[in-house]
């Protein structure tokens, strides 16, 4: 089939008629499918049921250093968990704080602390007239939700396959001391699946922010979430790079086991410099006597070490790789020649990012919904939920079964064709 824009008005009208008939068939199927959130599917969760056996009522809940995990204490996490998570994050165990189950919660908390009490003696952000935040787009809606909640002015920064536009980032942070942070998902990003290039990571580590309390929020949520054994992205380790660049305190790095074990009850962590850590611990001592050490120990016993975790991630990949590939095949087969959209083909992570023709995303998502397929809301990948081009749609292929995904992805391509054809026809 030729590209829609090369079709005559008559050809396009007949295509639209056919697509509408096909769409009506889907509406008659009363589907109830969901490609909206990046959740592991049941088979993925089943991989971690061994966690339930890792500890039982006979288990020895003493750590190697004699800490009794059942009791209070050990604010920043048990040593064996720091070693395991340190290996996962490629950081020294001494630079790690282990928290509760959610890294998003840690990001929120980190901003809340800066807001009420300030970072390392700097003025609390609540006392400033204005706080601004850089938001690489497309990005993660829940990141933007946090900075919107605190009333920060969010500035979108375009990204390409190498990461954010660093000319723009460098210029903005060096000129404006109201800019206090940037959201980054540096590896297998949500939603594009891209990983930052070496040059981008090096430039991040060498930023010269006007604000002394500017921090990079480096959310490495998908650090070991490869889809392929033989084709993996590698990332320069940011903490070490910041140290090399003479900027040791520039970054807070986050991760969790949410998409390794259970999103509802994994463990979350931050890696950061000793100065930042001392600053954070001052507040933590007021917040809690310690997080869930039994869960930390359970994870350590379940995995043994990083090799156990890497092996475990291969099993995840075996479950979700066919889903990614199926969606990519359906996109290619049904849209490849039509010139109505482009999409990413990630080597890891949880998402495919789709760019429709300008002005079409909202309608595509609405058409999907009317036929029973829920997509992430159009606009969600932009600050304030406003995609100025109304073009980007996040596709989350992991949760549905392969059979459901096939129907959902096919319907998505049908809606994309229909909305695009109608739009081009109207413009003729």
List interacting residues with ligand PMP (CB under 6 A).
38, 102-104, 140, 185, 190, 219, 221, 256, 258, 263, 268
Closest CA to 77 of 312, 286, 316, 267: 267
Give the shortest CB-254-to-ligand PMP separation in angstroms.
7
Cβ proximity to ligand PMP: between 204 and 367 the closer is 204
**Burial of 275 by CB count in 10 Å (0-12 exposed, 13-18 middle, 19+ buried)?**
exposed
Instruction: Please report how close the Cβ of residue 268 comes to ligand PMP at its closest, in angstroms.
Output: 5
Residue number with CB closer to ligand PMP (256 or 391): 256
Q: Which of 55, 57, 77, 56 is nearest to 65 (CA)?
A: 77
If the CB atoms of residues 4 and 218 are measured against ligand PMP, the closer one turns out to be 218
DSSP letter (8 states) at residue 32: -
> Smallest gap, in angstroms, from Cβ of residue 150 to ligand PMP?
17
Q: For 29-38, b where at least 16 C-beta lie within 10 A, e where not — what string?
A: eebebbbbeb
- Residue whose structure tokens are 């459901």: 404
Q: 181 - beta bridge partners?
A: 133, 215
- Closer residue to ligand PMP in complex, CB, 103/247: 103
DSSP 62: B
**Dist CA 312 CA 160 (whole Å):** 31
Q: How far apart are CA 311 and CA 316, in angstroms?
A: 9
The nearest distance, CB 88 to ligand PMP, in angstroms, is 13
Phi, psi of 417 (to 5 degrees): -65, -45
Q: Could you tell me the smallest distance in angstroms from the CB atom of residue 13 to ligand PMP?
A: 42
> In whole angstroms, how close is the CB of 7 to ligand PMP at the nearest point?
39
Q: Tell me the torsion sign for CA atoms 58, 59, 61, 66.
A: positive
Dihedral, CA of residue 289, residue 290, residue 291 and residue 292, to nearest 10: -100
Instruction: Give the integer Cα–Cα distance in Å for 333 and 60.
Output: 55
Q: Which helix (H) or strand (E) holds 342?
A: strand 341-343
Query: Least distance in Å: CB of 354 to ligand PMP?
Result: 17
Report, in Å, the least distance between residue 420 CB and ligand PMP.
Answer: 28
**CA nearest neighbour of 218 among 103, 123, 313:** 103
Residues facing 350 on adjacent strands: none
Name the residue with tokens 């008629």: 17
Residue pair 311/278 in contact (Cβ under 8 Å)? The answer is no
| Least distance to ligand PMP, CB of residue 221, Å | 4
């Amino acid at each position: 089939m030729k590209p829609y824009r090369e079709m005559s008005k008559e050809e396009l009208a007949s295509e639209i008629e056919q697509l509408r008939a096909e769409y009506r068939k889907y509406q008659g199927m009363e589907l109830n499918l969901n490609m909206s959130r990046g959740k592991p599917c049941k088979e993925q969760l089943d991989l971690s049921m061994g966690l339930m056996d890792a500890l039982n009522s006979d288990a020895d809940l003493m750590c190697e250093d004699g800490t009794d995990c059942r009791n209070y204490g050990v604010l920043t996490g048990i040593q064996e968990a720091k070693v395991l998570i340190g290996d996962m994050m490629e950081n020294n165990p001494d630079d790690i704080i282990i928290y509760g189950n959610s890294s998003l919660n840690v990001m929120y908390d980190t901003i809340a602390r800066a807001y009420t009490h300030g970072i390392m003696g700097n003025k609390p952000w609540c006392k400033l007239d204005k706080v601004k935040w850089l938001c690489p787009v497309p990005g993660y809606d829940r990141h933007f939700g946090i900075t919107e909640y605190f009333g920060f002015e969010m500035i979108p920064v375009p990204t390409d396959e190498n990461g954010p536009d660093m000319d723009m980032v460098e210029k903005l942070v060096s000129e404006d001391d109201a800019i206090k942070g940037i959201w980054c998902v540096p590896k297998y990003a949500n939603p594009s699946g891209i990983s930052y290039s070496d040059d981008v990571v090096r430039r991040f580590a060498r930023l010269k922010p006007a604000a002394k309390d500017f921090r990079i929020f480096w959310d490495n949520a998908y650090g070991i979430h490869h889809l392929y054994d033989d084709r993996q992205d590698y990332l320069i380790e940011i903490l070490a790079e910041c140290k090399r660049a003479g900027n040791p305190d520039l970054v807070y790095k986050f991760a969790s086991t949410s998409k390794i074990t259970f999103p509802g009850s994994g463990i979350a962590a931050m890696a950061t410099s000793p100065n930042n850590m001392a600053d954070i611990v001052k507040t933590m001592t007021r917040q809690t006597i310690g997080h869930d050490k039994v869960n930390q120990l359970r994870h350590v016993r379940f995995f043994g070490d990083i090799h156990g975790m890497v092996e475990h991630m291969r099993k995840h990949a075996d479950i979700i790789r066919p889903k990614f590939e199926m969606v990519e095949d359906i996109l290619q087969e049904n849209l490849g020649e039509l010139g109505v959209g482009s999409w990413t083909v990630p080597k890891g992570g949880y998402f495919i990012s789709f760019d429709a023709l300008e002005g079409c995303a909202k309608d595509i998502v609405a058409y999907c919904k009317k036929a029973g397929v829920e997509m992430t809301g159009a606009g969600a990948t932009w600050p304030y939920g406003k995609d100025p081009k109304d073009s980007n749609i996040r596709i989350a292929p992991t949760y549905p079964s392969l059979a459901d995904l096939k129907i959902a992805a096919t319907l998505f391509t049908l809606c994309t064709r229909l909305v695009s054809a109608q739009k081009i026809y109207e413009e003729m």
